[in-house]
C-alpha cells in the first residue's frame, strides 16, 4: 500500500515536468536517443531519492537530477567534451567589442540561435536553456546547476555575450557569401 502511495505521489509531483527534463537533456547531449536514455535513467534516480524531496519545487529538483545524470552519462560516454575547462577569463568579452554587432543580432532567427547555442560550452548552454527556454529564476537555476546565485548572474551575462559573438560571426559570413 505504501509503495502505491509513493509511486502515485511521485508521478503526480514529477512526471508533469517530463518536457522540461527532456529539453534540458536534449540540449546538453545534442542527441535524441541519448536524451531519452538520460531522462529515463534520471527518472529512476529521482524515484529512488524521492524520500529526500519535500515538495518545494518539483521541476527544479528533477532538473537538478537530470543535469547530474547527464554529466555522469557524458563522463562515461564522451569524456572529451567535458574535459574542456571553462576558463571564465578566456570567455570574457569587453562590452565595447559588441557594439558593431548590434544590428546584425536583430536579424537572428530561431535556426541561427539554435546553431549558436549548440556551439556554446556546456556550462553556458545549461544556464541559457534554463533561463530562456524554461524561464527559470536565478534562484531556481542556482538550485538546478548547484551554483551560487552570483555565479548564475555572471555566467548568464557571459553566456549571452558569447552567444552574441557567435551569432555575429555567423551573420557576417552569411552577408559576405
Partner 1 sequence: MICQTSQEFIHAYLDGELDLARSLEVEQHIQECQVCASAYRNQTALRSAFKDSSLYHSAPEGLEKRIRSSLRREANTEVGRRPFGWRWLPIGVAVAAVLLMAFVIWRAVPGLRPSGDELLAQEIASNHVRSLQLESHRTDVISSDQHTVKPWFDGKLDFAPPVKDFSSQGFPLIGGRLEYLNNRAVAALIYQRQKHYINLYIWPAGQSNATGEVAAKHQGYNLLHWTNSGMNYWAISDLNGVELQDFARLVQQAQ
Positions that interact with partner 1 (CB under 8 A): 3-4, 6-7, 10-11, 15, 18-19, 21-23, 26-27, 32, 35-36, 39-40, 43-44, 47-48, 95-96, 98-99, 101-102, 105-106, 108-110, 112-114, 117, 131-133, 137-138, 153, 156-157, 160, 163-164, 167
Q: Determine the number of helices (DSSP H) and then strands (DSSP E) in the chain.
A: 10, 0
What is the C-alpha to C-alpha distance for residues 109 and 93, in angstroms, rounded to an integer?
23
**Is residue 158 within 8 Å of residue 88, measured between CB atoms?**
yes
Closest CB 81 distance from partner 1, rounded Å? 18
Residue placing its CB nearer to partner 1 in the complex, 11 or 77:
11
Angle (CA) 126-85-164 rounded to 5° is 50
Q: 84 or 133, CB closer to partner 1?
A: 133
Give the C-alpha separation, 123 to 3, whole Å. Answer: 37
- From the CB of 83, what's the least distance to partner 1, in Å? 25
CA distance 91 to 103: 22
Q: Pick between residue 122 and residue 153 the one whose CB is nearest to partner 1.
A: 153
Amino acid at each position: 500500500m505504501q509503495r502505491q502511495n509513493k509511486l502515485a505521489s511521485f508521478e503526480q509531483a514529477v512526471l508533469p515536468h517530463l518536457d522540461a527534463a527532456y529539453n534540458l537533456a536534449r540540449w546538453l547531449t545534442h542527441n535524441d536517443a541519448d536524451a531519452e536514455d538520460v531522462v529515463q535513467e534520471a527518472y529512476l534516480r529521482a524515484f529512488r531519492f524521492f524520500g529526500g524531496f519535500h515538495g518545494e519545487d518539483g521541476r527544479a529538483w528533477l532538473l537538478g537530477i537530470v543535469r547530474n545524470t547527464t554529466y555522469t552519462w557524458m563522463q562515461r560516454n564522451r569524456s572529451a567534451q567535458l574535459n574542456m575547462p571553462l576558463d571564465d577569463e578566456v570567455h570574457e568579452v569587453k562590452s565595447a567589442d559588441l557594439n558593431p554587432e548590434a544590428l546584425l543580432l536583430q536579424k537572428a532567427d530561431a535556426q541561427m540561435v539554435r546553431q549558436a547555442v549548440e556551439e556554446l560550452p556546456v556550462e553556458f548552454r545549461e544556464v541559457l536553456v534554463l533561463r530562456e527556454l524554461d524561464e527559470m529564476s536565478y534562484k531556481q537555476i542556482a538550485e538546478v546547476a548547484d551554483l551560487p546565485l552570483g555565479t548564475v548572474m555572471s555566467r548568464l551575462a557571459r553566456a549571452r555575450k558569447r552567444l552574441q559573438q557567435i551569432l555575429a560571426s555567423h551573420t557576417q559570413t552569411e552577408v559576405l557569401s
